[in-house]
Structure 1
Amino acid sequence: MFFMSKNLVTDTLTLRHRAILSNRIVMSPMQTLSGKRNGFASADTIAYYAARSQAAGMIIAEYHYVSPNGGPCSTPGYPEQLAAYSDEHLDGLRQVAKAIKKDGNKAILQIHHGGRAAIGQAVSGSPAVAPSQMDFDFLNYPVRELTNEEIEAIIADFGQATRRAIEAGFDGVEIHGANHYLLQQFFSSYSNRRNDQWGGSLEKRMAFPLAVVKEVKRIAKAFAKKEFIIGYRISPEEIHGETIGYTYQESTQLVARIVEQELDYIHLSLFEGYHSKPKNSDLSYAEHFKKVLDEQTKLIIVCGVTSQEQAQDAIANYSDLIAIGRGTLIEPQFAKKIMEGKGETILHQISPETLAYAQLTPGLKEAFTREDHLGLPPLPGGESIQSFHTGQFDMFN
């Protein structure tokens, strides 16, 4: 394999700008379905993050939309996606950062714009926005094309959300360029049909994500300590049958340009396992992306890790850091148990007996006890807790 490090999952890691992580485990950003109207944090939000303050050396708080029209992307009827588009959100942001950092680990705020996925706009009677106006057969609401002035405003909004993260006490931000949200929509040739400076050629499809990176960097330089962490999350490919938005050959070119901006890490959003590969390739996605990173830009990969053994394999053979998603939903003390030499006691699946221990928010508990688990990746053992579903948020579903 290309990576083959001798690092242990329990090793510390110093990032480019000298921030030190206590171990190689990251808690992946996951929606908590806990926000109040207009994206304000709730008591459930704070309790969820406080329970996971020792889940990883670096905890990435879920996606927070940076513009009023950037969300919510959460399921109507359920508690909302969180937001960071105004200074009114600062109090909640401070509480989230404090809850995450209470045991000494790093708190990262994921900043995000949903673009066409902001279903909350449609529910409230406004069209969702996107790089191009087109009919998406998987949406049942209209989408409007962004003007140049609106694009510039959203870029500035990412900067202001970064300022709020700094003021709130977060140790860094992660720019969400994955999972079919706005940055990916601009990079995708499927959803970006523009013929101006924001679309057309591959170079122009890179313009919006690169502009966001540069603005976030500018604000961090002006307001943050030098150790402030900046990362970028990306889906390595956008291929759905015959529909191709971009391939890994194109996304590695974007990442190579992002690396020039001297970020701390790149975070690969994977869906078929941390060792997954592109079609017709002998190398994993992690190996392909490692080739375009410099020595100081660290790689995070995520997908399918629920045990210490899997985490160690990922660190030894694929990546600098391993992000744990569902594993930390089931086991809130994932990294703590490993650091204490108790990795064998990590819970690997949910059950009626462990549901209270998991300390899920009411929204997540309702989502994961549905038969369709609200479209979220199912929890191992999830079928055993379906009898706990109450339907309290299912008025629209």
Structure 2
Amino acid sequence: MSPRLETAIEIGGRRVKNRLYRAPLLECAGDGPETVDRLIGQLEPAAAAGAGLLFQGAMPVHRETGHVAPNMTSLAAPRPDLERLTDAIHDHGARIFAQIDHGGLRSLEAWHHAYGEAHPEVRQLAVSEPPRLLRLAARAGFLDLDYEVLTTEGVHDLAADFGRSAAHAIDAGYDGVHLAGANMGIIQQFLSPYYNRRTDAFGGSFESRQHFLELVHEEIRDRVGDVPVLTKFPSEAAAPPFVRPRLSTADGVEIARRLEAIGFDGLVPVRASTFWDMSIVRGEYPDRGWEGSAFREGYAAAFGSEWRARAVALANRLQAHEYDREAGWNADFCRRVRDAVSIPVLCEGGLRRRSTMDDLLGDDCDMVGVGRPFYAEPRLPARLLDTGEGDTDLPNDPRAVCESCNNCTIPQATGAPGVCRTPSVLRKRGEFEKAGAYDRAETR
């Protein structure tokens, strides 16, 4: 019999009380005195409402470089202050893992003009010379490429930085480590033949391109021992058809086999692009997010001018029609990976309805994750778990109120927090709040 959402599971020897997790998001909580309070405000409601596992998203391994968005919370140094957050999550019987990250060519210093002007000394870390298309975008003014190709010694140093950041997370009370291995971060850039044309031990063949991820795993194990270590990893099936070479779905399955052999405790397969585009956050064109006057100046500062911001908005509009957005768009890839490995496989991407989640568990994956809907409903698990009366529209099949309109994500380019800004969605959440739908007895 297939497990249900309420069924407990073990990951790397750690019990997780159910199979619903809060997928990594950009918290944009910063690195100042209010950081921990902001993170508790964003993450604790999910734990209090019953989520078994929370991933804190994209915590950079360097203090000022490699950040994929403004106001990230770094793990470059010890963070005893974060113990207050992990204690708050544990008080509800939930687990919390730190997702650690380096953006490489996706970093702020490549695309955020205001950040680049404030940090003129900062250069991007590149696996190899950037692809020709990115160099053309730089000539057109859309990117500021001033990169440093990693030496072999530099690769080892970067892997050690991942290991040190993992140790800082475990010291702060996190239950495990989740590597941001896709969505165009530097780990994907090592894995991808489109980006990795190195001639040393970390490039060239399909197997050699996986050596960086193997080295990162070794560095983490050396510092934190036997704690759960997961990674997201891609196929590049969502890349534009003209992009060659790229990782196929079959390549992704082979990577999964290798990651299990290396010793990873869980895998999150995703169908990715080779660019940081709307393949990551599929859904509607975010009209309200782009057109709202509150962020217009911020977009101009981020992208370099108003006309460049409008060009990015146009690209978003076109991409919104290009990428499919069916529920569980990574499910086919997850199923193929689950058939190939014996460690837990986690599935995320467009999951909104309880019945869809139950259908995926067992055959396609071992856990299901929800991301953007938490911006709209911080206590969403209260409606998805232990369903009784349930949703007024679908009494036995509750669905997140999120409409995948992406108005929550675009303002994050300015450093704004991820919150729902769509009136119809907020009204629906208000109705559930008045009905007491988010009130629940906690389970452990």
TM-score by length of structure 1 reads 0.78
Per the alignment, residue 186 of structure 2 pairs with: 182
Residue 172 and residue 184 in structure 1: after superposition, are their counterparts in 2 closer, same or farther (change >3 A)?
same
In structure 2, the partner of 1:302 is 348
Q: Determine if contact 1:350/1:382 at 8 Å carries over to the other structure.
A: no
Specify the alignment match of 1:247 in structure 2: 248
**1:132 aligned to 2:103?**
no
User: 2-side partners of 1:24 and 1:214: how far apart?
Assistant: 28
**Quick one: which of 285, 303, 307 aligns to 2:333?**
285
- Secondary structure in structure 1 of the residue aligned to 2:35: coil
CA RMSD of aligned residues (A): 2.9
Residue 321 (structure 1) aligned with residue 367 (structure 2): yes
Contact 2:230/2:267, CA 8 A, preserved across alignment? yes
> Secondary structure of 1:252's match?
helix
Kindly provide the amino acid, as one letter, of the partner of residue 109 in structure 1: A
Match of 2:10 among 7, 14, 18: 14
- What's 2:91 paired with? 102
In structure 2, give the amino acid aligned to 1:10.
Answer: E
Q: Following superposition of structure 1 onto structure 2, how do residues 292-371 of structure 1 map, counting pairs within 5 Å?
A: 292-294=340-342, 297-342=343-388, 344-345=390-391, 348-349=400-401, 368=407
**Amino acid paired to 2:252:** S
SS of equivalent residue, structure 1 residue 368: coil
**Counterpart in the other structure of 2:261:** 260
Shift of the 383–196 alpha-carbon distance from structure 1 to 2, 3 Å rule, reads farther
Q: Quote the offset at 1:55 in angstroms.
A: 5.0
Q: How does 1:1-397 map to 2 (within 5 A)?
A: 6-15=2-11, 17-36=12-31, 41-53=35-47, 54=49, 56-68=51-63, 70-75=65-70, 80-87=71-78, 90-120=79-109, 122-123=116-117, 124-125=119-120, 126-134=122-130, 136=134, 137-138=136-137, 140-142=143-145, 143-221=147-225, 226=226, 228-237=227-236, 239-244=239-244, 245-270=246-271, 272-273=325-326, 275-276=328-329, 284-294=332-342, 297-342=343-388, 344-345=390-391, 348-349=400-401, 368=407, 382=422, 384=424
Aligned residues of 1:111 and 1:173 also touching (Cα < 8 A) = yes
Deviation at 1:343, TM superposition (A): 7.2
**In the alignment, residue 161 of structure 1 is paired with which amino acid?**
S
| Per-residue Cα deviation, 1:185-228 (whole angstroms, up to 9, x for no partner) | 0111111121111111112111111111222222222xxxx5x2
**Measured at CA, do residues 150 and 383 of structure 1 come closer, stay the same or move farther in structure 2, by a change above 3 Å?**
farther
Aligned length: 345
Label 1:74 to 1:380 Cα distance change in 2 as closer, same or farther (>3 A). closer
**1:349·1:381 contact (CA, 8 Å) conserved in 2?**
no
Kept after mapping to 2: 8 A contact 1:122/1:128: no
Instruction: Give the Å deviation of 1:285.
Output: 0.9
User: Deviation per CA, 1:75-126, whole angstroms, max 9, x where unpaired?
Assistant: 5xxxx11110112xx1343233223222010110001111111114734111
Contact kept, 8 Å, 1:328 with 1:334, in 2: the verdict is yes
- Following superposition, the deviation at residue 340 of structure 1 comes to 4.0
Give the distance between the partners of 2:389 and 2:341, measured in 1 at CA. Answer: 31
The change in CA–CA distance for 1:99 and 1:235 in structure 2 (over 3 A counts) is: farther
User: Among the aligned pairs, what percent are the same residue?
Assistant: 19
Task: Indicate if the aligned counterparts of 1:109 and 1:174 stay in contact, CA closer than 8 A.
Answer: yes
SS at 1:284 equivalent:
helix
Q: Show the counterpart of 1:390.
A: none
5+ long unaligned stretches in structure 1: 278-282, 352-366, 387-397
Scaled by the length of structure 2, the TM-score of the pair is: 0.70
Give the Cα separation in 2 of the matches to 1:182 and 1:41.
Answer: 25
